Amino acid sequence: SAVISQKPSRDICQRGTSLTIQCQVDSQVTMMFWYRQQPGQSLTLIATANQGSEATYESGFVIDKFPISRPNLTFSTLTVSNMSPEDSSIYLCSVEGGGWNSGANVLTFGAGSRLTVL
């Protein structure tokens, strides 16, 4: 399966600032996915990023708040804009390619970026 590197692994941010999270994959992938895990909550899909097209956002997430870049088949960034304490979460990058098992396509995740907004 793919190896995913995420930076930063953690950060403490001030309210009103923006932070960009980078995701690097060791192989070319068509789709990259950005998830969020708020404290005590499940992993929630923010958006799907395809190379060469605009990201597709899930309900409740908008491009102005979470702009995404996908300049090539191995790299993507997620920016958390104008942060508030409610944005304190773990943000995870993931890709397909962990293999198929029982008919389900398996996602591989990065280690995540833990953001704390003061």
Partner 1 sequence: DQQVKQNSPSLSVQEGRISILNCDYTNSMFDYFLWYKKYPAEGPTFLISISSIKDKNEDGRFTVFLNKSAKHLSLHIVPSQPGDSAVYFCAASGRGGATNKLIFGTGTLLAVQP
Q: Which residues contact 19 (CB under 8 A, 6 or more apart)?
A: 11, 13, 79, 80, 83, 115
- Closest CB to partner 1 among residues 57, 75: 57
Peptide bond into 8 cis (omega under 30): yes
What are the backbone dihedrals phi and psi of residue 99, each rounded to the nearest 5 degrees, phi first? Answer: 105, 170
Min dist CB 29 to partner 1, Å, is 11
> Residues 51, 57, 61, CA angle at the centre, nearest 5°?
140
- Closest CB to partner 1 among residues 16, 106: 106
Residues at the interface with partner 1 (CB under 8 A): 4, 9, 31, 33, 40-45, 48, 92, 94, 96, 98-112
- Closest CB to partner 1 among residues 15, 100: 100
- Closest CB to partner 1 among residues 27, 105: 105
CA gap 27, 47 in Å, rounded: 20
